[in-house]
Amino acid sequence: MNLICVALGISFLAGIGFYNAFAQQVDESHLHTKIIASNLENPWELVFAPDGRAFLTERTGNLDLMQNGTLQDEPIAHLQVTQAGEGGLLGLALDPNFEANHFLYLYYTYSDLEGLHNRVSRFTESNGTISQEKVLIDKIPANTYHDDGRIKFGPDGKLYITAGEAGRSDLAQNVTYLGGKILRINSDGTVPSDNLFEGSPVYTYGNRNPQGLDWDARNGNLIETEHGPSGEFGWHAHDEINLIIPGKNYGWPDVIGMANDSRFVNPIYQTGDITWAPSGATFYTSDKIPQFKGKFLVATLMGQGLEVITLDKDDKVVSTQKLFDGTFGRLRDVVQGPDGSLYLLTSNGGGGTANDKIIQVVPEFGPTAAIVLAVSISSIVVVSKFRLPKL
């Protein structure tokens, strides 16, 4: 029995060591993709509930529900939103205590006599319906572009909100203007007492068009993705990945990319003249797809692919790799499901064209896995030829 246990242990370590040697780059041929929903129009955010259900927003105002991997034919709610350019029903988050309170949070665009605005509201979900809207933060600047709208709860239980500068670049540096910021509020809409700008939801400023947020589980750092301004050929370029530090200035519009100026925070990565238009992002934490473990995954719109970012322990970028280059078109979000599967949301619709999809990504048994298995088997054979001393 001891011989078998040791053999299995050695074979397991040999397999893991072999696999890690190849884990720096993701082999796309070892990934299987499956379309699980289609005929959507600009889906924006997909969030899984603790009970396995998933909620989905479409910019049209539809709030959809997915159960057992199948999207229901009809939305569970339709919000009266204003779809002006990039606006509509955007961000979605579930309360950290969703199992107990069933609070669901939405970021959406609306219009009144003063013009376009965004707000974040809390609703109560019950048996696939929502009700009891409570507006938490209102009059976030809106525009046909740079509208943003990602919302996520952090490890501290606070709600983080990305707000684009809504075409008012000059005001991104003004901490009294809610656009061009990352905002942070309590789940009831009040301002946390430890926000650095007293009485203000502003968490960082000088942000241009931030669209992705997630926390590195290794150190608790918040990492953000942000659209840069136009590049050499008129397309957006100088896109950024930023380490978010409370109260800091990220430079827009005074600087682009690396400022090397103590007044501003440098991005940890910027794309130069290459265009990503980065949107939703997530740190992959599951063992289901080992090649992704610990990597920062970024859905790109104009880049039309999934960027796989390897970060060191201090969140410095070690490498980038592009997957699904042009395969599915524009990608709005990337989400890790409860079982470790990845879900991609496309963003190719618009103008009444409901041609967007949810795509599931899972591992596929391939040559690497077969070699690892062969190494493991050979390890057992080799070890079995030796008699281990009695302990």
What's the chain's length in residues? 391
Per-residue pLDDT tens over the stretch 238-268 = 999 999 999 999 999 999 889 899 999 999 9
Per-residue pLDDT tens over the stretch 73-107 = 999 999 999 998 899 999 999 999 999 999 999 99
Question: Is CATH 3.90.950.20 the right assignment for the domain spanning 31-41+208-364?
Answer: no
pLDDT band at 373 (very low <50, low <70, confident <90, very high): very low
Burial bucket for residue 80 (CB in 10 Å: 0-12, 13-18, 19+) = exposed
Per-residue pLDDT tens over the stretch 297-343 = 999 999 999 999 999 999 999 999 999 999 999 999 999 999 999 99
What is the pLDDT averaged over residues 26-49?
Answer: 96
Residue 233 has pLDDT above 50, yes or no: yes
What is the pLDDT averaged over residues 379-384?
Answer: 36
Per-domain boundaries in the chain = 31-41+208-364, 44-207
- From the candidates 117, 146, 236, 238, give the one annotated as an active-site residue: 146
Give the model's pLDDT for residue 354.
84
146 is a catalytic site residue: yes
pTM (global) more than 0.75: yes
CA distances from residue 220 to 113, 213, 217, 245, 292 in whole angstroms, order as listed: 42, 12, 5, 11, 19
What is the pLDDT averaged over residues 344-357?
Answer: 88
Question: Is CATH 2.120.10.30 the right assignment for the domain spanning 44-207?
Answer: yes
What is the pLDDT averaged over residues 196-225?
Answer: 97
Q: Rounded distance, CA 338 to CA 20, Å?
A: 24
Per-residue pLDDT tens over the stretch 150-175 = 999 999 999 999 999 999 999 999 99
Q: Which amino acid is at 328?
A: F
Question: Roughly what angle, to the nearest 10 degrees, separates helices 367-384 and 2-21?
Answer: 150
Burial bucket for residue 51 (CB in 10 Å: 0-12, 13-18, 19+) = exposed
Burial bucket for residue 114 (CB in 10 Å: 0-12, 13-18, 19+) = exposed
CA distances from residue 174 to 148, 205, 245, 391 in whole angstroms, order as listed: 18, 8, 17, 71
Give the model's pLDDT for residue 389.
38
CA distances from residue 213 to 244, 263, 277, 329 in whole angstroms, order as listed: 9, 23, 14, 22
Per-residue pLDDT tens over the stretch 102-135 = 999 999 999 999 999 999 999 999 999 999 999 9
Per-residue pLDDT tens over the stretch 275-285 = 999 999 999 99
Contact at 8 Å (CB) between 110 and 81?
yes
What residues pair up with 323 in beta bridges, in sequence order?
A: 306
**Backbone phi, psi, residue 169, to 5°:** -55, -40
Residue 384 has pLDDT above 80, yes or no: no
pLDDT band at 228 (very low <50, low <70, confident <90, very high): very high
Burial bucket for residue 229 (CB in 10 Å: 0-12, 13-18, 19+) = middle
Give the model's pLDDT for residue 382.
36
Residue 1: which residues within 8 A CB-CB, separation 6 or more? Answer: none
Residue 65 has pLDDT above 50, yes or no: yes
31-41+208-364 shares its CATH topology with 44-207: yes
